[in-house]
A = this chain, B = another copy of it.
C-alpha cells in the first residue's frame, strides 16, 4: 500500500506501469486519474488546500479499509495539493486484484471516500475571482453504496 500527498506533479505513465509491474499475482489493474477540468467560465487555476497530517492518515485509513473489504494485492493513492493549472493531474488511485470486480469496486470505493472524507478543499480561480468548490450531494450520496 502506497499513499502519497505531494505538491509536485506525478508521472501517470510511470506510476501506472510501475504499479502494474510490482503486482505479480494480480490479473486485474484499475487506475483512476483526476484532471483539472477547464470549466466554461475560464478557469485559470485550481488551488487545493489540505490538512497536513490528517490527510495522510485519512488516505491510509481509506486504503486500508479497501484492502480489508476486497481481495487486493496492492493499492496506490497519490493526491496533490497547491496550485494546479487546467489540464494538470490532481490525483490518481490504482488497485490490483486477482479479479476485475474487486479491482473496479475497490477503486470506486477509494474515489468515493477520498472525495468526501479526505481533508482537501478545492478553490477555483477564474477571471471573475476565486470560489471554493462546494461539496456535491451526489458525492455524499455515493457513500451509501458501500
* Chain A positions near chain B (C-beta within 8 angstroms): 11-14, 16-18, 20, 23-38, 87, 89, 98, 100-101, 103-104, 107-108, 111, 142
Contact = CB atoms under 8 A, between A and B. Distances in A.
B28 A35 contact: yes
B35 A23 contact: yes
Contact residues of A: prevailing secondary structure: mixed
Given A23-B35, A34-B27, A108 B104 contact: yes
Given A24-B38, A31-B33, A104-B104, 17 more contacts: A12-B16, A12-B17, A13-B17, A13-B18, A20-B33, A23-B35, A25-B38, A27-B34, A28-B33, A28-B34, A29-B33, A30-B30, A30-B31, A30-B33, A32-B100, A104-B107, A104-B108
